[in-house]
Chain A
Amino acid sequence: MRGTKADGPKDSRFQRKAFIGLLALAVLSPLGIILPKVFHSEGPFGEWGPEYFGRALGYVPEGIRRGVDLWHAPAQGYTFLKDACFVSQLFFYVASGLLGLLLAGLLVFLLARMGRRDER
Chain B
Amino acid sequence: MSVPAIEIRGVAKSFRRRGREAGTPWWRFGESTDKVALHPLDLTVEPGGVTGVLGPNGSGKSTLIRILGTLLTPDSGTARVFGRDVVTDALEVRRHVNRVSVEAAFFKELSPWENMVYAARLYGNPRAGTRRQVLDILAELGLPRDVVDQPMKQLSRGQQQKVAIARSFLTAPSLLLMDEPTTGLDPRSKKEVQAVLDTLRAGRDVTVLLCTHDMDEAAALCDRVLMMDGGRVLADGSPSELRHAHGGATLEDVFMHLTGKTLEAEETEEVAP
* A and B interact physically: no
